[in-house]
Copies of this chain bind each other. A is one copy, B any other.
């Protein structure tokens, strides 16, 4: 199991079947530095343009269509002391007539204290004088090359992953993506220091990161949509509009997972989910919205 330090010289605004930037064995670890969502690096130098420039693709040996790529998010360390957000909720998350009264969109700067592991607005805002957030890193956009040799904008997402902007995609989480292309062709970027549900201002706190992931091929997986796992929970992801359809995808994927790995038929899975399921809104801003269907592992003990 090798650890690769991956320093990209080219960044991509699509996820797809592009020329391989790094080739690794299944089970290897990759350490890489990501740009922020509009292409600035740790030194504040613009090295690419938006949306969401990606590091990759990483070819994982042995990966074939139909397999799953397991991604262990091992660590995420911000590499500079500043981040930015948009300053107003997006027009699509408020009532249509309410949009008329929204202030114009602007950008706000945030200060990241890498010792204290906190984030705060760089300029004071009335009413938020004491608003200091714990650093909560997450990957906004990552995934594998989609089917049919497509190359899809990093603004959006699909079965292959992409710009899901879900706050549980942070250190300690394991994610599995359904593979469509030989080598899987993994991409990542667009990391956030903090983000609420829904990414409703259209950004998290966008900054540059050093990210460490371990990439492992699992054969014949049966995944249609991404699946994730934290210490406490398992979850599935659906990406679509409206949120209703994203929820349908995530729920259908969870039913399949509970059947194949936990021995729960549709009825047993319905009894379980009906009383304990949790739904999280990943993003409600990007062209495809993201909904997670989440179940605490304690309800599944001894079954996997």
Identify the A interface with B (CB < 8 A).
13-14, 16, 85-104, 106, 108, 119, 121, 125-128, 130-131, 133, 146-153, 194-201, 203-205, 240-245, 247-249, 251-252, 255, 262-281, 284, 289, 299, 301-303
Contacts and interface: CB of A to CB of B under 8 A. Distances in A.
Contacts of A268: 125-128
Contacts of A273: 89, 196, 200-201
Given A127-B303, A195-B274, A243-B244, 10 more contacts: A85-B271, A88-B270, A99-B99, A126-B265, A128-B268, A196-B274, A196-B277, A200-B277, A203-B274, A279-B281
Contact of A100 (B16, B100, B126): B100
B243 A108 contact: no
A194 B245 CA distance: 25
Nearest to A249: B95
A304 to B, nearest CB: 11
Q: Which secondary structure dominates where chain A touches chain B?
A: mixed
Contacts of A255: 89, 94, 98
A97 to B, nearest CB: 5
A244 B242 contact: yes
Nearest to A263: B127
B271 A128 contact: yes
B201 A270 contact: yes
A97 B99 CA distance: 8
Contacts of A104: 100
Contacts of A205: 275
A240 B243 contact: no
B148 A13 contact: yes
A96 B91 contact: yes
Contacts of A278: 196-197
Given A240-B241, A278-B197, A284-B244, A271 B87 contact: yes
In this complex, the member of A93, A263, A278, A289 whose beta carbon has the largest number of chain B beta carbons within 10 angstroms is: A93
Contact of A204 (B247, B275, B281): B275
A248 B94 contact: yes
The 4 closest A-B pairs by CB, nearest first: A91-B96, A201-B274, A99-B99, A243-B243
